[in-house]
Chain A
């Protein structure tokens, strides 16, 4: 029997409790409104719930069948799409391009998506449609229905709404009727956050899903290996998902889960594992292929030696080699700075790793600090770089500090920074500007700071210009060029500066805001040889 709760629970390692709970709730008239919360991996939970419900739809007992429509409140961003999606799914109707993408229309060719009433009429129509589909050939099942309510004759209709937290924003009118009607909602947001005012909706039956612990995670991840390896029919062709590699995979997973211990979402871990595993086993496969090639000389391919699980020694060696790359994988792949295929290609092991003596093999190189390199600053002209650094300074330093920071006094040492100890007596310290975000500044100030920077850092790199006699005259000349203004406009066009005043405003100088981070600025300053931290009013 396919739909026993135990079989169903076995399909979802780690989610046995949820599968059982959903099963036993829906094996009888379920509470009218369920709210499932999973703060960590709502997608997995949704998948589990859906698969439990769809296996209940195939139940042999017609009265306990559950017909469900699964919709995502992100995809169904308005009411009509939601109505159509639900009805099409319940009726098993495929929207086809060739047929004009018509929706399920029932017998009398009606449109159900006009408004909520229409949708409810549509639900009734679908209900009778399902009942008609089922009446021939299906008996009413063992448990006799006492109440003659036709709704229980064919089982229940369930709407599963994922990402339900979107509903109140997009279809606020719809939320209350849906909760009074619909059956199951799931979200990673607590219900308290989307509860409509005045107690309009009944309170749901709460189902909380806690994140998996390590054992469950491992079991869940491990089970996918079987799924993948059973898909490839040729067991004697070596591939990374060969059944005999399964023990190694378990060990690999356990190390991986430990190194990525703060990721709890099984999907994310699966993604990282899938990116790393083929590279991880490649040395073993290489060694195996070599062995096959050697032996191939004197025997034909009929009895090719099977892939043997690697020895304990080899395992430990592989893990030692690859362990540093797990963390790199996490740092790159979890925020999706790169995609799995490209990352795996970049971080693959060398050929025939195992053939080399252990002393020569290095751990897979750690590429070091993740360079969040913005392509926009890679090949900027030198003057643009100066402008950007000046803009950063103008955005983070208070404007009253400019004279002190950039003034060319007689005594260079008089440049004073904000003192840090004065904070204790006044109640709250002001947060430094660098964490509050950039301030806007007028163009004049930018030009002035730029002049100071150029005078300090650029003078000795200029071509000799004997016509300028007064010190600083050359710089004054430079910053007055049209090119500077042009560059500023260009930079604000590509978003490295933000113009905060409107373009059509004529009186007063235009104002800007810096659009690059401290990290990028310090990289630029390093290229220009500017001591950035000395020029900051309140350095980190």
Chain B
């Protein structure tokens, strides 16, 4: 991609100034900047330096103005990088080390960013940025484990679970356990990690309570997955055993299949014990993963759980049989109480808990980890590592911005779900563009507005004019004591209002539109978007215009929408007493 060097040069300088600007913001409040820095440094990660912030504008400006010769600046900048690296290795006393570093770093920082300006041939921010974005999006899907605490719940769960699985795989034990934890706390991830770390790959049967809604479906899926992983057919074997002359699914009888799909394609549930009992006899140990475990407990008689847990319990370590592990994943804390007595008595009672990061500081670290993916394998794009350094500096100043921290903390106090953080960061990343390549707190704020705890009807103001008229009319109907209204009621209100305001005709974009002529279409839009909900089923004997509706929006929503729209007529009408 050909990129004009001069323009890109400008771009990067602007970026540099911007990061400097943030430094200004941080440093400008009078209460001693040093204190602020120390606090920030103590609060911030031990893993990252904070030299960018330290680049005081006083130092920077003369540098920028003075025509410093090119060859001087480059070596200087190279020299400057070692202190940065050293500082990242957790200095013993952060405050002092930063105070010391403040003298060398400004020059380093200022020069660190302009380096690529001086080698314009290499610079293609678009490429770098795209590669970086891809890398980040990938990291978001699989967030790095940043909590170094050995005592964290996830670490413990990971250790216990891998011990348990090892017991099954190596020693042929029958095990069962539940992995409990809130959504997004890493249950599946821990399990997958544990399975992939096993010395010998077991047969993994993955079932989900959401898709296998009955034991028959679950059984069929077990048979399918077993035959995929072992190369033997279990479904037909089971059927042969029972000598049921049922049509198999590859029987070419489309008519029969379409008319009665479930009964012909599913084996009867009496096959279940036979199928499950084959598990220990397989050539490899088996791990059965039950996602949404609580839903399996809703199945009649819990026969699948009974069979699985019974097999796991009665599994004897020996040369002939291999181990079986049943792992349930659930968010339901009292799942164990859902189990029937006979099922519960076969369950080992082992419950491992996972948890989301417990401190807002962890979120900051996680953000950093996501934004600066550790395995940055775009060496082909970025030979020199200049982009890498710039990017890390950009992320650093992003994370030092108090506004960023506020948003992160707010979000954390609302929900500890890491997936919300992932959504926020995805939005931030998609907002990056070559002209503004580094994340800023404004990006994050707008992301939070769009992705986190959204207002129920955020787009009301964007509706067409007649729809808004109808909404205002329905607010008036409600204040007049008719929370349930028909289309005719609203239409009459709109008509009266337009008649009243005939002296001040409705104007949009300078042209009078007069009476909205298509209120019926507008009304149906509102019904389509479920802003109006019917209160009773429609009947053929009732005209369409007399079907009773109820508004899902409140007067406040409409008020906000009208104010956003900033239409004088509507505002006046809304304020008018009925």
Binding site for B on A (CB under 8 A): 20-21, 24-25, 27-32, 37, 39-40, 64, 109-111, 114-117, 120-121, 142-144, 146, 165, 173, 176-177, 180, 188-190, 192-193, 199-200, 202-203, 205-206, 208, 210-211, 214, 258-259, 261-264, 327, 330-331, 334-335, 370, 427-429, 431, 434-438, 498-500, 513, 515, 517, 540
Contact = CB atoms under 8 A, between A and B. Distances in A.
A20 B126 CA distance: 13
B521 A39 contact: no
Given A193-B530, A210-B459, 8 more contacts: A114-B249, A117-B224, A205-B451, A211-B462, A327-B517, A428-B481, A437-B545, A500-B541
Interface in B418-466: 419-420, 422-423, 426-427, 429-430, 433, 450-451, 454, 456-459, 462-466
B503 to A, nearest CB: 21
B492 A540 contact: yes
B403 interface: no
Contacts of A330: 517-518
B96 interface: no
11 contacts: A30-B137, A31-B140, A143-B134, A143-B377, A190-B454, A190-B456, A190-B459, A258-B509, A261-B509, A264-B464, A499-B541
A165 B533 CA distance: 14
Contacts of B419: 202-203
A190 B429 contact: no
B250 A109 contact: yes
A193 B546 CA distance: 24
B265 interface: yes
Interface string B513-548: 100111011000100111000000000011101100
B67 interface: no
Given A28-B138, A30-B137, A117-B224, A515 B481 contact: no
Contacts of B249: 110-111, 114
Contacts of A370: 517
Can you list the 5 inter-chain pairs with the closest CB atoms, starting with the nearest?
A428-B481, A437-B546, A28-B137, A262-B465, A28-B134
B457 A208 contact: no
B201 interface: no
Nearest to A434: B488
B18 interface: no
B358 interface: no
A493 to B, nearest CB: 13
A37 B456 CA distance: 12
Given A39-B459, A177-B210, A117 B220 contact: yes
B212 interface: yes
Contact of B430 (A24, A121, A144, A429): A24
Contacts of A188: 528-529
Size category of the B interface is: 35 or more
Contacts of A20: 430, 433
A68 to B, nearest CB: 17
Contacts of B361: none
A435 B486 contact: yes
Q: Taking each of B423, B463, B486, B541, which has the highest tally of chain A beta carbons within 10 Å of its own beta carbon?
A: B541
Contact of B510 (A202, A208, A258): A258
B88 interface: no
Contacts of B456: 190, 192
A19 to B, nearest CB: 12
Contact of A208 (B459, B465, B509): B459
Contacts of A21: 430
B462 A210 contact: yes
Given A40-B464, A176-B210, A335-B518, A31 B458 contact: no
B373 to A, nearest CB: 10
B518 A31 contact: no
A133 B509 CA distance: 54
Nearest to A204: B423
Contacts of A40: 462-464
Given A39-B529, A208-B450, A435-B488, A24 B378 contact: no
A437 B250 contact: no
A233 B463 CA distance: 40
A431 B462 contact: no
A206 B485 CA distance: 32
A331 B482 contact: no
Nearest to B516: A262
Nearest to B216: A115
Nearest to B492: A435
B511 A261 contact: yes
Given A109-B250, A437-B546, A205 B462 contact: no
Interface string B116-135: 00000000000000110111
A200 B525 CA distance: 29
A144 B138 CA distance: 13
A202 B486 contact: no
Contacts of B521: 334-335
Contact of A437 (B131, B141, B486, B525): B486
B58 to A, nearest CB: 38
Q: Taking each of A211, A262, A500, which has the highest tally of chain B beta carbons within 10 Å of its own beta carbon?
A: A262
Nearest to A201: B210
Contacts of A264: 462, 464
Nearest to B131: A143
B319 interface: no
A403 to B, nearest CB: 27
A172 to B, nearest CB: 11
Contacts of B516: 262
B183 A202 contact: yes
Contacts of B135: 28
Given A214-B509, A437-B546, A205 B427 contact: yes
A115 B217 contact: yes
Contacts of A39: 459, 462-463, 525, 529
Given A29-B138, A117-B220, A331-B518, A429 B250 contact: no
Contacts of B382: none
B217 A517 contact: no
Contacts of B220: 117
A190 B458 contact: yes
Interface string B212-247: 110001001100100000000000000000000000
A429 to B, nearest CB: 6
B480 interface: yes
B489 interface: yes
Interface string B53-81: 00000000000000000000000000000
B334 to A, nearest CB: 14
B500 interface: no
Interface string B393-408: 0000000000000000
Given A177-B210, A262-B516, A437 B488 contact: yes
B451 A31 contact: no
A180 B183 CA distance: 13
B4 interface: no
B375 A116 contact: no
